[in-house]
Amino acid sequence: DAKPIIAPSILAADFARLADEVGAIEGAADWVHVDVMDNHFVPNLTIGLPVVQSLRKSVSIPFDVHLMITDPERWAPGYAEAGAYNVTFHAEACENPVALAKTLRAAGSKAGLAIDRDTPVEPYLELLPYLDTLLIMTIKAGFGGQKFLPEMLDKVRDVRRRISAKNLEVRLEVDGGIAADTIEEAAAAGADAFVAGTAVYGASDPAEAVRRLRALAEQ
Ligand code: DX5
Ligand code: ZN
């Protein structure tokens, strides 16, 4: 099995000091998770392409960009061109996920598909061969600091079963309410990439919080 990926979400960081906040987890974390929201796909607004382009120049950790936006076809390739390692768009916002995944790979990034709380994963299982990452939301997308929804782990189990059966190389990521008291059950369900906002940036020592989460995910 692949070693777990820990991806702190800067949504819970101090946006006035983004480069320093990312610097605080570089070395300890595998990816930094960048939540892009457009106040349309979700009722919240964060950062967009110019901030990602600037931040990319200041830090070296791989960027895991999570696009919570409508019209991802228009915007997603720009994040790949800006040097993002992985660009994930939402199933609910995209008519042709396979086409967009191909575009992203051609633009130089990995391609991820996200499944929000109220979306079943079953119709998307057949798309796994075209994806590098499948992100299962363990909350309703839009805000940090929400309570983890353990019933979402049924989706994680379904995806893990399919990845194993078909021997696919797809990262199975979970996002929302991941913390010391939830990461073990998410890992046991088959997740191998873990986004954590509050649990990392709400801690007095973010790097130490990442190491603790990793130790729990590895068990
Ligand atoms: C919310 C974002 C998450 C958020 C998670 O829609 O996709 O990445 O930062 O925050 P926590 O870890 O606090 O639930
Ligand atoms: Zn996210």
Atom of ligand 1 nearest to the CA of 200: 12
- Give 47's contacts (C-beta < 8 A, 6+ positions apart): 15, 34, 36
The answer to whether 37 and 29 are in contact (CB under 8 A) is no
Q: Which amino acid is at 21?
A: E
* Dihedral, 10, 197, 1, 191 alpha carbons, nearest 10: -130
- Distance between Cα 175 and ligand 1 center (Å): 6
**Measured distance CA(87)–CA(113) in Å, rounded:** 8
The residue among 59, 57, 49 whose CA lies nearest residue 8 is 59
Distance 8 CA to ligand 2 centre (A): 9
CA–CA distance, 60 with 32 (Å, rounded to integer)? 10
| pTM as predicted | 0.98
Computed over every residue of the chain, the mean pLDDT equals 98
Residues of the binding site: 9, 33, 35, 66, 142-145, 175-177
Which position among 30, 38, 132, 175 bears the catalytic label?
175
Distance 139 CA to ligand 1 centre (A): 8
Indicate which residue of 35, 38, 158, 192 is catalytic.
35
3-class secondary-structure state, position 201: helix
Ligand 1 atom closest to residue 142's alpha carbon, by position in its atom list: 6
| Full residue range of the structural domain in which residue 211 is found | 5-218
* Number of domains making up the chain: 1
Q: What is the pLDDT of residue 2?
A: 84
Quick: pLDDT tens for 180-193.
999 999 999 999 99
Look up the CATH number of the domain holding residue 184: 3.20.20.70
> Is the distance from CB of 202 to CB of 14 less than 8 angstroms?
no
Q: Which atom of ligand 1 is nearest to the CA of 178?
A: 12
User: DSSP assignment of 111-124, as one string?
Assistant: EEEEE-TTS-SGGG
Residue 195: partners with Cβ closer than 8 Å, 6 or more residues away: 7, 8, 9, 33, 64, 66, 173, 174, 175, 176, 178
Concerning whether 38 is annotated as a catalytic residue, the answer is no
ipTM score of complex: 0.99
Is 132 a known active-site residue?
A: no
Share of the chain above pLDDT 70, in %: 100
> At 219, is the pLDDT very low, low, confident or very high (cuts 50, 70, 90)?
confident
Phi first, then psi, for residue 152 (nearest 5°) are -70, -15
